[in-house]
């Protein structure tokens, strides 16, 4: 499969076996979602064949595509043949008068409904939903009325409807809170068929996968074990090949030296044998890996005061729903606070309340109902919002947009910063209107690195980042000497970055002064 001059896959032959759970890995743009489309049949390969089981369960990535449908119907859509038959049958029954041809077609359709267990479809779908903790009272609601975590479970029920032999999941943890991710992990570990899953959550891949199919070098190589096992094995293989090449090159240099010195002399037979040896020893050409590692480093223009933030009696409600109630806290310089809790529990609401009168931000009385927020001496804030829609102006380029935040910066500095975040060469001149979700996230990090703030407020920064970028962010946050408030559902980030936990639960916030693992232990 190729797009223009870019080759994604070249002569790939691979099998996914029953009872195994495969993580499909590779950086953004390597072809993971394209490969999933080849497996599902949504897109044909330009060359070669894909054989698949008759019943394939596919998790749709777009949670909003079914908003106008009832929950129970959304699940039944997982059996495409049955759903299209039911739709056609309903149209015929809705006709005022039927022709003989309509009657014959109706008979054919009723036969298909019977073959596909269509008469028990609603009860089978209901049993599946109950098992996935979707209560009966939601089954006849529309999808648009439900929360993100519930939608993912319903779309998973859709993928499982009809007992598929294989399950293909593209980013199933997106928009899930930590409790839902844990539930999905436990569910998939029990699944008996063939599982292929794309995820940028390292912790999730390590917990679920028995094998890792890695897209790199224009092919797919399968390793035994989870993501970390794959990284170790891949690094060892690459190092061994590089070492062998180095030794061969030394040997070739020695042989070429001998050939040069004696080619005109009496030792022609020895020269000839050494020429053959050089041909045999030609170094294995190592394919270039498509893995690109961004370099993230958060520096500070100057440190903040000893207490960058105090809040007292902070409250925020939406109608009768109290999201944050009378919360007070004092934050010391250098603390790294992770905000955790179910989706909709108030984490983003709290960040907005803190920013309602922050230095460098427009005052917003609507984001806080009561309480006082006091930002400390010399505080400067770098903010990464959960929703970046409209944040980057259109009608300009990535480099021009970035330059606005430090007009004194040289062109070389701007392009150097863009290069660190993988906008190499001409990519810095890309129109902002054409940026993907991942590119938008990387450009926002460029802005923060350019501004050099001493307080970072990051609301779900990993949503559009690949594993390499998430790992780079993890290291950068650990090394950052300033203060961090971080909303994330990435367990590695929580455990490795956080020094303090704010746990949100039904309007109450538990403030735990210690690492996330210590907090988990205190709950146990």
Per-residue model confidence as pLDDT tens digits over 42-80 = 899 999 999 999 889 998 767 788 999 999 999 999 998
Cα–Cα distance for residue pair 26/292, rounded to 1 Å: 10
Helix (H) or strand (E) holding 500: strand 500-505
Please indicate, yes or no, whether residues 259 and 210 belong to a single structural domain of this protein: no
In Å, what is the CA distance from 114 to each residue of 130, 160, 214, 360, 408?
24, 19, 41, 65, 72
Please indicate, yes or no, whether residues 30 and 164 belong to a single structural domain of this protein: yes
Confirm whether 115 is domain-assigned.
Answer: yes
Please indicate, yes or no, whether residues 110 and 47 belong to a single structural domain of this protein: yes
Q: What is the CATH number of the domain that holds 469?
A: 3.40.50.300
For the CA atoms of 72, 77, 78, 81, the dihedral, rounded to the nearest 10 degrees, stands at 140
What is the DSSP track for 407-445?
TTS-HHHHHHHHHHTT--GGGGG-BGGG--HHHHHHHHH
Confirm whether 426 is domain-assigned.
Answer: no
Please indicate, yes or no, whether residues 217 and 320 belong to a single structural domain of this protein: no
Which residue shows structure tokens 């060892």?
A: 236
Dump pLDDT digits (tens) for 190-219. Answer: 888 999 999 988 899 999 999 999 988 778
The least confident of 132-136, 141-145, 448-452 is: 132-136
Please indicate, yes or no, whether residues 210 and 269 belong to a single structural domain of this protein: no
Dump pLDDT digits (tens) for 441-481. Answer: 999 999 999 999 999 999 999 988 888 899 999 999 999 99
Confirm whether 478 is domain-assigned.
Answer: yes
Please indicate, yes or no, whether residues 213 and 271 belong to a single structural domain of this protein: no
Position 355 confidence tier, pLDDT thresholds 50, 70, 90: very high
Cα–Cα distance for residue pair 260/269, rounded to 1 Å: 14
Six token digits for residue 345: 């529990």
Please indicate, yes or no, whether residues 75 and 130 belong to a single structural domain of this protein: yes
Query: Which domain covers residue 510, as residue numbers?
Result: 309-392+449-523
Position 172 confidence tier, pLDDT thresholds 50, 70, 90: confident
Six token digits for residue 393: 């102006």
Q: Are 193 and 164 in contact (CB under 8 A)?
A: yes
pTM: 0.75
Q: Does the pLDDT value for residue 283 go beyond 60?
A: no
């Amino acid at each position: 499969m190729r797009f223009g001059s870019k080759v994604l896959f070249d002569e790939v032959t691979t099998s996914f076996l029953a009872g195994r759970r495969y993580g499909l890995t590779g950086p953004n743009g390597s072809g993971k979602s394209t490969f999933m489309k080849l497996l599902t049949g949504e897109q044909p390969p330009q060359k070669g064949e894909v054989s698949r089981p008759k019943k394939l369960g596919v998790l749709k990535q777009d949670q909003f595509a079914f908003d106008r449908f009832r929950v129970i119907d959304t699940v039944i859509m997982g059996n495409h043949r049955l759903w299209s038959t039911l739709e056609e049958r309903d149209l015929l029954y809705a006709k005022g008068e039927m022709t003989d041809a309509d009657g014959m077609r109706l008979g054919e359709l009723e036969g298909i409904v019977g073959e596909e267990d269509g008469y028990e479809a609603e009860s089978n779908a209901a049993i599946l939903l109950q098992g996935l903790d979707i209560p009966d009272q939601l089954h006849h609601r529309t999808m648009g009325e439900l929360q993100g975590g519930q939608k993912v479970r319903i779309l998973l029920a859709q993928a499982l409807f009809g007992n598929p032999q294989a399950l293909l999941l593209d980013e199933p943890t997106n928009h899930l809170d930590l409790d839902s991710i844990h539930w999905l992990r436990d569910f998939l570990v029990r699944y008996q068929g063939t599982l292929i899953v794309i995820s940028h959550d390292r912790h999730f891949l390590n917990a679920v996968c028995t094998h890792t199919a890695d897209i790199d070098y224009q092919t797919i190589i399968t390793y035994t074990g989870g993501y970390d096992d794959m990284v170790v094995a891949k690094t060892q293989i690459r190092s061994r090949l590089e070492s062998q090449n180095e030794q061969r090159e030394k040997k070739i240099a020695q042989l070429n030296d001998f050939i040069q010195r004696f080619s005109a002399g009496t030792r022609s037979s020895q020269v000839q044998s050494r020429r053959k040896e050089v041909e045999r020893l030609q170094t294995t050409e190592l394919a270039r890996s498509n893995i690109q590692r961004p370099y993230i480093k958060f520096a500070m223009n100057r440190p903040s005061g000893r207490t960058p933030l105090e809040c007292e009696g902070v409250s925020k409600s939406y109608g009768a729903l109290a999201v944050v109630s009378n919360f007070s806290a004092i934050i010391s310089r250098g603390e790294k606070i992770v905000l955790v809790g179910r989706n909709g529990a108030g984490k983003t609401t709290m960040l907005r309340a803190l920013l309602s009168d922050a230095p460098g931000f427009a005052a917003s009385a609507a984001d806080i109902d009561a309480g006082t927020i006091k930002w400390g001496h010399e505080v400067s804030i770098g903010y990464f919002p959960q929703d970046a829609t409209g944040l980057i102006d259109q009608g300009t380029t990535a480099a021009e947009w970035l330059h606005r935040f430090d007009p004194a910066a040289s062109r070389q500095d701007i392009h150097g910063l863009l290069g660190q975040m993988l906008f190499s060469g001409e990519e810095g001149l890309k129109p902002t209107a054409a940026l993907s979700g991942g590119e938008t996230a990387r450009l926002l990090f460029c802005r923060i690195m350019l501004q050099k703030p001493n307080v970072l407020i990051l609301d779900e920064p990993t949503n559009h980042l690949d594993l390499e970028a998430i790992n780079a962010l993890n290291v950068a946050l650990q090394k950052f000497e300033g203060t961090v408030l971080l909303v994330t559902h990435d367990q590695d980030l929580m455990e490795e970055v956080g020094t303090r936990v704010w746990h949100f639960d039904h309007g109450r916030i538990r403030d735990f002064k210690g690492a996330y693992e210590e907090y988990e232990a205190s709950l146990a």
